[in-house]
Amino acid sequence: MFGYITPYKGELKVKEYEIFKGYYCGLCKSLGKEFNQLTRFGLNYDLNFLGLLLSSLDEKRDQMKMEGCFVNPLKKKKVIQTNDYLIYTSHISIILIYFKLIDDWKDDKSFKSLLATIPYLLPLKKSKRKYNHKYQTIKNCLERLSELEKRKCDVIDESADAFGKLMEEIAASDLIEDEETIRILKWLGYNLGRWIYILDAYNDIEEDVKADGYNPILLQYKYDKNSNIKVFKDRIKSEIEFSLTLTLDNIAKSFELLDIKHHRNILENIIYMGARYKMEQIFRTREAEHCEKSI
């Protein structure tokens, strides 16, 4: 469900893209330093966005250094040095990745996912001790999602709300002291979670139809197993696109209220262009695939 929040690279300056990648590498190294090297493989761009956003609210400018990586030790890259926000984000990453692997095990009985939880067991204990409230809220939100799935909830907004509440919680880092900023971050996080969930559900339509998996979009819009998927998606596309665009507008409005100290251009690129480009890719690429199959 993660991996949708990325920049639109074509509109970023080389230096700005290096900074974005620097935060990605910085978060990766934070995972290795705080926990163990294997946890670094669970890194995703959505959590990188959170680390970048929270860091950009601080007066202190982060330091960047040329460093090697355990994946490619001979090639040095620009890496943002670990800060409190990247450490916080690394803890949140551990919690989310662990629950994702457990969910895969429960849903698909994937032994690969079950084995993959092993490097996260001790780190999870550490993260749970340090951020117990966050852990419990994330757990509760995911349990609510699981219950909605079990009872075949046919309202996409209800399922998206549960994931929105999860993102609302993790966006409001305890490191932020200003109550107004916390309020804004919560609303931004909620809409970000809602946007990710709905876009992911739309992106998974074909896969869920084949696997007979749960998808609230299929249930809400009464998909008939005997009907053509392309016809179904054409019927619902404008309504889903409208909902996603409205949610993106709420993210943008929240962002404009924040007192961004650094990297505004990068963050604006991600919110105003990267997210919309990702939507365009999913909507248009899927259409192209259907067209190719019908020729």
List per-residue pLDDT tens for the chain, 295 residues long: 667 999 999 999 999 999 999 999 999 999 999 999 888 888 888 899 999 999 999 999 888 888 887 777 778 888 999 899 999 999 999 999 999 899 888 776 778 888 889 999 999 999 999 999 999 999 999 999 999 999 999 999 999 999 999 999 999 999 999 999 999 999 999 999 999 999 999 999 999 999 899 999 999 999 998 889 999 999 999 999 999 999 999 999 999 999 999 999 999 999 999 999 999 999 986 554 544 443 3
Please give the residue range of the domain that contains residue 259: 9-294
In a domain, 4, yes or no: no
Give the closest residue to 284 by CA, choosing from 249, 233, 239: 233
In a domain, 3, yes or no: no
**172-178 long-range Cβ contacts below 8 angstroms, 24+ apart:** 173/54, 173/85, 173/88, 174/88, 174/131, 175/54, 175/84, 175/85, 175/88, 176/54, 176/57
Asked if 145 and 24 count as a contact pair (C-beta separation under 8 A), the reply is no
Residue with tokens 């084949």: 210
Residue 161 CB contacts under 8 Å (≥ 6 apart), including other chains? 194
What pLDDT does residue 291 have?
Answer: 42
In a domain, 2, yes or no: no
Give the closest residue to 140 by CA, choosing from 176, 169, 179, 117: 169
Q: Looking at the 3D structure of the chain, how many domains does it have?
A: 1
Domain CATH for 255? 1.10.600.10
- What is the tens place of the pLDDT at every residue in 104-141? 887 767 788 888 899 999 999 999 999 999 999 999 99
In a domain, 30, yes or no: yes
In a domain, 38, yes or no: yes
What pLDDT does residue 225 have?
Answer: 86
In a domain, 28, yes or no: yes
The pair of structure tokens assigned to 178 is 């200003």
In a domain, 80, yes or no: yes
In a domain, 1, yes or no: no
Q: Which amino acid is at 16?
A: E
